[in-house]
Structure 1
Amino acid sequence: MKRFDSINMIPFIDIMLVLLAIVLTTASFVSSRQIEIDLPVAESAVAASNQQGVELSLTHPSGLYFNHDSINTQELESRLSELDKTTPIVFRVDREASFDRFVAVVDQLKQQQLASLSILTSDAL
């Protein structure tokens, strides 16, 4: 009987490379942590700038998010009070969201004197 003094690692490395290729190709299809919002269409939509700021999202029927964190109205007020007055704010609102909620959030922004507000829409194509 022949004794084995070494192990051939090449088949093992080949299998690991194939698994790595599978993981890397499927990882690109995993969705990012994005809140699903059906944006309203605007004829005069302008491309959004890439400024660092705060993202507010209002979903249907009643979800409110501050930088992807679900919050309520009281938490929104406390987080807005901590912001600098020149902080850019991007507001994403679902087309089916309540207009009353939209007005309430904009009112809180005005109370905190946060005037650098952009409301995201999708362009009409």
Structure 2
Amino acid sequence: MARFAPRGRGRRTINEINMVPFIDVMLVLLIIFMVTAPLITPSQISLPSVGQAGRQPDRFVQVIVDQGERLQVRDGAGAAEGPDVPLAQLAARVQQLQGGDAQVPVVISADKGVKYETVVAVMDRLQRAGVDRVGLSVQTTR
């Protein structure tokens, strides 16, 4: 007995996305990234070096943070050690030594063993008081 094909449309279109080429491309990209990732060097941060500074300013205010996290503020022109200053009075003492000139730089000298957050608290207190120029003193390697 003979079979007849149905009349009308012989083939129907399939309304589906073919995922096989998409998966092939993704696997190739994955392999490329897996091979090249170890070859990429991590980015380097370029920190300023100590030797780039010019000469030291003639007039500056020095804030000293010692190992006991006590603060001393003195005129940077070679003044003798002063009394300890609490953090709450730091800004007033610095502004007094600046003599109303906000462009006089403030240099923070902290001991190597002092906590980082203590130095940041000093810098934050000075910034909130409106001191524009704050720097950190460093010891050059010999």
Return the TM-score normalized by structure 1. 0.57
Whether 2:118 is the aligned partner of 1:122: answer no
Q: CA RMSD in A?
A: 2.2
Kindly provide the amino acid, as one letter, of the partner of residue 77 in structure 1: A
Q: Does 1:56 align with 2:72?
A: no
List runs of 5+ in structure 1 lacking aligned partners: 1-41
Match of 1:45 among 50, 69, 85: 50
Structure 1 residues 56 and 77 mapped into 2: Cα distance closer, same or farther (>3 Å)? same
Q: Which one has more relative contact order, counting CA pairs under 8 Å at least 6 apart?
A: 1
Amino acid at match of 2:50: A
Q: Which of the pair has more CA radius of gyration?
A: 2
Which structure shows the higher strand fraction? Answer: 1
Q: Structure 1 runs of 4+ off > 4 angstroms? A: none
TM-score calculated relative to the size of structure 2: 0.51
Distance 1:75 1:113 in 2: 14
In the alignment, residue 56 of structure 2 is paired with which amino acid? S
Corresponding residue of 1:80 = 94
Aligned residues: 84
- Distance in 1 (alpha carbons) for counterparts of 2:85 and 2:68: 14
**What is the distance in 1 between the residues matched to 2:95 and 2:86?**
14
**AA in 2 matched with 1:105:** V
Q: Match of 2:50, SS?
A: coil
Work out the CA distance in 2 between the residues paired with 1:57 and 1:88: 14
State the one-letter code of the partner of 1:64.
Answer: L
How far did 1:114 drift? Answer: 1.2
Residues 34-85 of structure 1 deviation map (CA, whole Å, 9 limit, x = unaligned) = xxxxxxxx98213551421211111112121101322111221322344432
Unaligned runs of 5+ residues in structure 2 are: 1-46, 75-80
Q: What percentage of aligned pairs have identical amino acids?
A: 18
Distance 1:50 1:85, change over 3 A: closer
